[in-house]
Structure 1
Amino acid sequence: MDLTDLIDVKAIMPALKANSKKQLLQLLSERAAAISGIPEREIFETILQRERLGSTGVGNGIAIPHGKIVGVRHITGVFARLETPVDFDALDDQPVDLVFLLLAPEGAGADHLKALSRIARVLRDGDTVAKIRGTHDAAAIHALLSETQASHAA
């Protein structure tokens, strides 16, 4: 499963400004709604509900909020690189500056888990993460996420 199948350049926000976890999730939901056609409020509520179960801040400044939503036709991602990190209640208590929101169809089961695993693997690559943090260009970020695919597949 390639990240390029999950995310389009228009779904990448390379210099997002958010002051809190809640505002960040709202802005991500807004972009996801524009891409998926699912109401923003529905996306936001689903993601917020998932966060109540436990933070999706996985450490090293990275979060992968996710949820399954009726009406989503295929697994879809939205990526944000924040101008200033925000507190996300992450596992390591570090603020978050890279966020990959993942939305999946209600019955996505194993594919949803494969997508989460793929995202986590790509964002564990220190070189890729450093390059993403160093750019404000959506196309460059998309290329970096895609590039990592090839090197991990080899």
Structure 2
Amino acid sequence: MLRWTDFLEVDAVRLSLEARERVGVVHELAGLMAARARVPAKELTEHLLARERLGSTAMAGGVAVPHCRLVGVPRIVTCVGIHQEGLDFGEANGGRVRVFVGMVSPPDPAGLHLNVLARIGALLRNARLREALLTAPSPSALRALLVCVEDAHVSQRSEAAVARW
């Protein structure tokens, strides 16, 4: 069964993004993924920003998922960054984005890229999960929470998993 968290390492979680604007946040996310994606952070930043120019990847609830496909990336790589204050990232209802998920994948598995994006979106629609992510005490706790909720989601019990957390 496909799991987003299979593509998320603890060292790719940052609880406190520092940038104060969109380009800086995207650069921070690229930095979290660059080594595992085998792509220089600057190049990855450029590709993520090119995708943002096509249309904001912000979604309701203060979440954005900057993503791209890139030749030479060996497998899907994701990261999570929390911006405690939030910032304008083009969310449809004008809210501030606080939860950022970056993703880069090779161009070959188009279906897998879209399936991982769909899983991220499905999980992060849960308001209780988003709130729990904002207060996670450590990167490992944040990832563990996502694993727990994703496992429950697969079993159709994501609300119960967040409540247990």
TM-score normalised by structure 1 residue count:
0.95
What per-residue deviation string (whole Å, max 9, x for no partner) do you get for residues 112-137 of structure 1?
Answer: 00000000011111221111111241
Identity percentage over the alignment?
A: 29
Residue segments in structure 2 that go unaligned for 5+ positions in a row: 156-165
Contact 2:61 2:127 in 1 (8 A): no
In the TM superposition, what are the counterparts of 1:73-84 in structure 2 within 5 Å? Answer: 73-84=74-85
Contact 1:57 1:90 in 2 (8 A): yes
Q: Which residue of 2 aligns with 1:72?
A: 73
Q: Which residue of 2 aligns with 1:150?
A: 151
Q: Which residue of 1 aligns with 2:121?
A: 120
Contact 1:77 1:100 in 2 (8 A): yes
Q: Which residue of 1 aligns with 2:42?
A: 41
- Letter of the 1:122 counterpart: L
SS of structure 1 residue aligned to 2:8: coil
The Cα shift of 1:74 comes to: 0.7
The Cα shift of 1:19 comes to: 0.3
The Cα shift of 1:36 comes to: 2.2
Q: Which has the higher contact order (CA 8 A, sep 6+)?
A: 1
Question: 1: distance between equivalents of 2:18 and 2:115?
Answer: 30
Question: 2: distance between equivalents of 1:94 and 1:108?
Answer: 33
Residue segments in structure 1 that go unaligned for 5+ positions in a row: none
Runs (4+) of structure 1 exceeding 6 A deviation are none
In the TM superposition, what are the counterparts of 1:86-105 in structure 2 within 5 Å? Answer: 86-105=87-106
The Cα shift of 1:148 comes to: 1.0
- Letter of the 2:128 counterpart: D
Q: What root-mean-square deviation, in Å, do the aligned CA atoms of Structure 1 and Structure 2 show?
A: 1.1
Contact 1:65 1:101 in 2 (8 A): yes
Q: What is the aligned residue count?
A: 154
The Cα shift of 1:7 comes to: 0.4
- Letter of the 1:39 counterpart: P
